[in-house]
Amino acid sequence: MAIQVALVGTGLVGSAILTQLALPTIAKHTVLVSVSNSKRTVFSPSGISLPLAADFVQTKGTELALSQLVAQLKEIRGKAEKTVLIDSTASPAVANAYPEILKAGISIITPNKLALSSGSALFDSIQAALDADPSIRLLHESTVGAGLPIISTLNDLVRTGDKVKRIEGVFSGTLSYIFNNFSPATPPEEPPMFSDIVGQAKKLGYTEPNPHSDLSGSDVARKLTILARLLPETPIPLPEGYLSVPTSSLSPEGLETLEDGDEYVEKLKDSDVEFEQMRKRAEQMGQVLRYVGVVDVEKCTVQASLETYPATHPFATSLGGSDNIIAFHTERYSRPLIIQGAGAGAAVTAMGVMSDLLKLV
């Protein structure tokens, strides 16, 4: 029997998911029964044919609350071996509904980090729903590292009895791009200003509309929270989720209230001298600047911060563009197990979602 799939979210990643759902290797295992954007839903138990026109949901859909969609999916659940909701939104409302969705017997696959990096109340409700019915799953490979096998690798290490001592890496594709260009292993004769690189990253679509969201470090803190919670014993209590993670913000004081992204980049120029001084200090020591996240099990700490690394370190020499790189230090591996590659982008994020979907086959 095919897996019934309901997709919520039709933005860049959602559109890439629809494209990959149409691939023969995936389509033979699935039937798309619902597609929703932020306002409208198309629901068809007999299946929705792919590909879809760009305005399909807007023209064919009806207004439908998420709770109603969940009720409809619950009604048709018996027609398939599994029913899955793919949350491809950045919506707190959808994230908050995870316990309700799971209790309805519907598995969830998501690149949305909000629920799993939330405070303990929501996270514990999600875990309780999963524990109550072992047949349902919550899979989230794409919440950390897009399509990179970060979550699956950590799960494999833990489940096979290895002891993870430390997880360290460059988890933000945006901050990777910024510091790969601002503080490269081989410094250019005329290095660009920090604000210029942030502005370029914004033009390329690597940042959020307002770069403050990226420079605040909150995205890294969310990913660290997700990883820490996958360990048998969370290194430190995270009652407020990612808000409990000590996080060094690179966003200058006073700019966090600006709503316009272009104005933010313009005001960021006032801090160029300070960033340049940090870059020069690192260069004089033969080091580079990298924004990293660390889960240190032995020290019982989790933190996200700007750090220096030798110019010969893999974090300095192996990264390009918006790559992520994550190093697992464990008892079993005498040298760190390193995973590196594209950590952002709709196609690779959708690939991570599809890999999760195929785990249910």
Q: How far is CA 343 from CA 33, 90, 99, 224, in A?
A: 30, 17, 28, 15
* Secondary structure of residue 302 in the 3-state scheme: strand
For 255, phi and psi rounded to 5 degrees?
Answer: -95, -10
Which residues are marked as active site?
223
Question: What is the sign of the dihedral through the CA atoms of 145, 91, 137 and 11?
Answer: negative
Length of the chain: 361
Helix (H) or strand (E) holding 290: strand 287-296
Side-by-side strand order, sheet with 3-8? 41-43, 30-36, 3-8, 82-87, 107-109, 138-139
Whether a cis peptide bond, with omega within 30° of 0, leads into 232 is no
- List the end-to-end C-alpha distance of the chain, in Å, as a whole number: 9
For 134, phi and psi rounded to 5 degrees?
Answer: -60, -15
Tell me: is residue 13 an annotated ligand-binding position. yes
Residue 95 φ/ψ region, left for φ over 0, alpha for ψ in the -120 to 50 degree band, beta for the rest: alpha
Tell me: is residue 89 an annotated ligand-binding position. yes
Closest of 13, 26, 259, 18 to residue 113, by C-alpha: 13
Tell me: is residue 14 an annotated ligand-binding position. yes
Tally Cβ neighbours within 10 Å of residue 103.
17
Token pair 């590292």 is found at 145
Tell me: is residue 217 an annotated ligand-binding position. no
Cα(46)–Cα(66) distance, integer angstroms: 20
* Secondary structure of residue 196 in the 3-state scheme: helix
Closest of 150, 70, 125 to residue 356, by C-alpha: 150
Tell me: is residue 208 an annotated ligand-binding position. yes
Tell me: is residue 113 an annotated ligand-binding position. yes
Residue 326 φ/ψ region, left for φ over 0, alpha for ψ in the -120 to 50 degree band, beta for the rest: beta
Binding site residue list for NADP(+): 9-14
Binding site residue list for NADPH: 89, 113
Binding site residue list: 9-14, 89, 113, 208
Binding site residue list for L-homoserine: 208
